[in-house]
Copies of this chain bind each other. A is one copy, B any other.
């Protein structure tokens, strides 16, 4: 297929950027891909495995001449990167990002965007617990949603072009406003991650149960939480600090419901528990019917060591 963009600059070369590179390459969606990451080590790996046609030492160099610039750094770093590259953006270029929070990115990046550059915030709902330049793969975005959050007055052709890129990488694209995005993600992603981190922290803390017991007997449920709680600490610190309000709201509701269930356990209210546990089953069915997860037992996970 003819390339959708002539030169794509990826700033930050971790899981998302490397997956984009593989996906764009697999289908010839970008004539050229440049890149930059903060550390020399990541840049070295990116060069070694050929992630980009050219890896630059600075973000400013990497974006020169690009008609698409994608910010693939942690949410908390978006503002400083935007400030650095702003003077070097080509007029008519599109600037997008893949950050997990949208209002904070718009506030941090928006003010730096020069006249004539199309700023279209985005967020692919696709990831794994791994990170870094070696963790990407071309099919990461297949059959996953990508949310675009265009700010008011954005040129429709620019949005359509970016949408086409995501669609060609396998995503289903939807548009949404930033505040709603942040609330939806607080429910479907941010709060679940915080809770998983907490559960794993509790297990790790408990003196009367040893770490080795927690590890040995983890297949009874706990290990699912550890996958999520193995995600990148910097990325997640930034998510919680920048989507504070929505996360705290959902956490408040979570605590309320948890207290109600706790009370039911204490008072022996089996009917309440049974009814609650029956209701939550339906959501799982919905997710499987929507093609967002497998019905295979245990995710059809690969059994190790057997």
A residues apposed to B, CB below 8 Å: 76, 125-130, 135, 137, 139, 142-145, 147, 170, 183-185, 187-206, 208-209, 211-231, 233-234, 236-238, 240-241, 244, 247-248, 250-251, 253-255, 257-258, 261-262, 265-266, 268, 270, 273-274, 276-288, 290-294, 296-306
**Residue in contact with A218 in the complex, picked from B199, B236, B293, CB distance below 8 Å:** B293
Which of A187, A201, A229, A300 has its CB near the most chain B CB atoms (within 10 A)? Answer: A187
Cβ contacts under 8 Å, A200 to chain B: 280, 283-284
Cβ contacts under 8 Å, A240 to chain B: 265, 273
Q: How far is the CA of A284 from the CA of B265 in the complex (A)?
A: 30
CB pair B303–A142 under 8 Å, yes or no, is: yes
CB distance from A184 to the nearest CB of B (A): 5
CB pair A292–B219 under 8 Å, yes or no, is: yes
**Residue in contact with A297 in the complex, picked from B130, B222, B258, CB distance below 8 Å:** B130
- Chain A interface, DSSP helix/strand/loop, else mixed: helix
Cβ contacts under 8 Å, A129 to chain B: 284, 297-298
Residue of B nearest to A213 (CB): B184
CB pair B219–A279 under 8 Å, yes or no, is: no
**Residue in contact with A205 in the complex, picked from B76, B184, B251, B257, CB distance below 8 Å:** B257
Residue of B nearest to A238 (CB): B270
CB pair A303–B139 under 8 Å, yes or no, is: yes
CB pair A201–B280 under 8 Å, yes or no, is: yes
Q: How far is the CA of A225 from the CA of B220 in the complex (A)?
A: 14
Q: How far is the CA of A194 from the CA of B272 in the complex (A)?
A: 13
Q: How far is the CA of A137 from the CA of B273 in the complex (A)?
A: 29
**Residue in contact with A228 in the complex, picked from B198, B201, B224, B278, CB distance below 8 Å:** B224
CB pair A226–B184 under 8 Å, yes or no, is: no
**With A125-B217, A261-B194 in contact, is A233–B277 under 8 Å at CB?**
yes
CB distance from A144 to the nearest CB of B (A): 6
